[in-house]
Amino acid sequence: MDAPHHIGAGPFATTGRSRQGEPWVWLTAAGLTLGVLMALGLFVLILVKGAASFWPRSVERIEIRQDSATTVIAGIITQENERRATDGTLHQQIQIFRGNRDLSGEAFVYLDRKDITATTRPESMLVLERLEYGPAIVEAVALETGGTRVAAEDPAFANELERLLDEGRRLRKQLLRVERRDIGAVSRELEALDRAQRGGTVATQEAAPRRVALEARFEKLRAEALRIRSQLSAATFVGVTADDRELRMATGDLLDVFAPNQAGWTGRLGETLRRVWKFLVENPREANTEGGVFPAIFGTVVMTLVMSLFVTPFGVIAAIYLREYARQGLLVRIVRVCVNNLAGVPSIVFGVFGLAFFVYFVGGFVDRSLYADRLPTPTFGTPGILWASLTLALLTLPVLIVATEEALGAVPRGVREAALACGASKWQMIQRVVLPASLPGILTGIILAMARGAGEVAPLMLVGVVKLAPSLPVDTIAPFIHPERKFMHLGFHIYDLGFQSPDAEAAKPMVFATALLLILVVVILNLAAILIRNRIRKRFATSSF
């Protein structure tokens, strides 16, 4: 403030910082800045690392001289760092991803820079994405179909490869349909027949012909699957690695071929987008280290939405009773403290409770009363998405109760009295005036609950999350919604990739990519909820209270 000088001499003279009356504003600003920087740093780190894992980098052909022997390897430089050896000399170590796990065992090698004699980027180097053993880095030699052979130098090679890749995609889709859907349907029918027979609802002589028919269909489908499989391995891709070893593989196992050293900036961008797309929509492969994370995205979203469906009515009703109806005495105060404390209980404790109560007790009861014919195979008496959602609903209940109570309490007394003065009963007042007025606050609570629930991992490991779920909790097989199924979750996926993966080095980029995706999913879910809330708010402009 620029107070006139002569005031400083008067009886109100103050000195130093306190003259401004606001001496420590910078500290509060610094606190906020620190918080924002930390959040931003985290996000940028994950964004950069996650996005970089999709960018196709060049393949280097490296010649190494070690102990007077020359070896050649080809690969992608993934890391460079300095390391001080025991004798005190500084070594520049680089980590190279050379793929070809089936041929050389380790996908990563470490080199000392001083051993490198030459580095080139031959345009003919290909990165093959395969069904097994991770990517391969080779040069193409030929394609062999039955007796014919198309060499890599042949101008028809590119077209032939493209054709075989397309056919592979088509056949794999077909195979999936036969094995997953058709054979699955037949085995479900067989199972149902077994149960019916055991339960006595179908006589044995009646069941026998049906069983024979089903088994015949089963055999036919299996033959069909075998036929597709043999078609998939009809053609062979022949390649040669940088160290002159031959790589032979069925083109049906080949998912994609990309030549990074030929691609320009736009080609690489296209490849990046294609990889991102595949990451989003494909199923995981090879212990989750390859392929996409679609089931995990789907599981996370479905679980969070189902959780919100459970927690919203419970939380709102509980809060209405606590705030509007319960006599505000000692008991209510104790309940309120308990609810607040519940928010601080470690989430794994909720997981244990969910396992004991929902899975074993409620699920066991459901099984005994509705699915007795399937026992001892549990249907609901085993972890699944329904129990996971309920457990998380319980976990997020305090968040919603507290938020709703605050929102209800913020509705001015005048509005309540006005409603009563119009002849409304108490419930009419709550339902027609108080609830609509507190809806934005309640939605804020739901948003907070969703954010908390979507990011939770620990309790889920006990009540329904698995490393690899064979099928989605919602699909096209009747009854379409399968609340008893186990599911995949992005949060658990991160843990699984990072710490449970057979090849931690290979999984590292996936960890960042999945983390980025989890953040994005939570942000999108929240944004959707915030948009809904703002629409509701806009309908009534801003209140003047």
Partner 1 sequence: MPTTATDSESSTKRTAPTRADFIRVEQFSFFYGEKQALSKIDLAIPEHQVTALIGPSGCGKSTLLRNLNRMNDLIEGVRHEGDIRIGGTSLYDPAVEVISLRKRVGMVFQKYNPFAKSIYENVVFSLRVAGRSKRAELDECVERSLRAAALWEEVKDRLHESAFGLSGGQQQRLCIARAIANQPEILLMDEPCAALDPTATLKIEELITSLKQRYTIVIVTHNMEQAARCSDRTAFLYMGTLVEHADTMKIFSNPSEARTEEYITGRFS
By the criterion CB under 8 A, which residues form the site for partner 1? 412, 414-415, 417-425, 428, 432-433, 436-437, 539-544
Strand-pair partners of 97: 76, 108
Instruction: Give the Cα separation of 69 and 345 in Å (integer).
Output: 62
Distance between CA 408 and CA 438 in Å, rounded? 6
Residue with tokens 């980027």: 121
Closest approach of partner 1 to the CB of residue 330, in Å: 15
Minimum CB distance to partner 1 smaller for 41 or for 436: 436
Question: Measured from the CB of residue 195, what is the shortest distance to partner 1 in angstroms?
Answer: 53
**CA torsion through residues 467, 468, 473, 479, sign:** negative
Contact 477, 289 (CB under 8 A): no
Give the whole-angstrom CA distance, residue 285 versus residue 132: 8
Query: Which C-beta is closer to partner 1: that of 147 or that of 423?
Result: 423
By C-beta, is 378 or 441 nearer to partner 1?
441
Closer residue to partner 1 in complex, CB, 245/333: 333
Residue 282 C-beta: closest distance to partner 1, Å? 47
| Shortest separation between residue 284's beta carbon and partner 1, angstroms | 48
* 109 versus 415: smaller Cβ distance to partner 1: 415
Q: Which residues partner with 114 through β-bridges?
A: none
Q: Which two tokens stand for residue 325?
A: 């109806």
**Closer Cβ to partner 1, 231 or 428, answer by number:** 428
Q: How far is the CB of 436 from partner 1 (least distance, A)?
A: 6
Q: How far is the CB of 45 from partner 1 (least distance, A)?
A: 43
Range 103-110, long-range pairs (CB < 8 A, 24+ positions): 103/241, 103/245, 103/247, 107/134, 107/503, 107/505, 107/506, 108/78, 108/505, 108/506, 109/73, 109/75
Least CB distance from residue 334 to partner 1, whole Å? 19
- By beta-carbon proximity to partner 1, the closer residue of 20 and 534 is 534
To partner 1, the closest distance from the beta carbon of 48 in angstroms equals 45
CB of 403 vs partner 1, minimal distance in Å: 18
Taken as a whole, the chain contains a residue count of 545
In whole angstroms, how close is the CB of 418 to partner 1 at the nearest point? Answer: 5
Task: Give whichever of 391 and 438 is closer to partner 1, judged by the CB atom.
Answer: 438
CB 181 within 8 A of CB 198: no
Nearer to partner 1, 412 or 470 (CB): 412
Q: Would you state the structure tokens that stand for residue 518, as one six-digit string? A: 């989890």
Asked if the bond preceding 295 is cis, omega within 30° of 0, the reply is no
Q: Residue 177 carries which DSSP code?
A: I
For residue 60, the SS3 value is: strand
Which one, 338 or 410, has the nearer CB to partner 1? 410
Helix (H, G, I), strand (E, B) or coil at 338: helix
- Parallel, antiparallel, or unpaired for β 60-66 and 69-84? antiparallel
Helices (H), 53-156: 101-104
With contact defined as beta carbons under 8 Å apart, do 449 and 311 qualify? yes
What number of other Cβ atoms are within 10 A of residue 214's Cβ?
Answer: 16
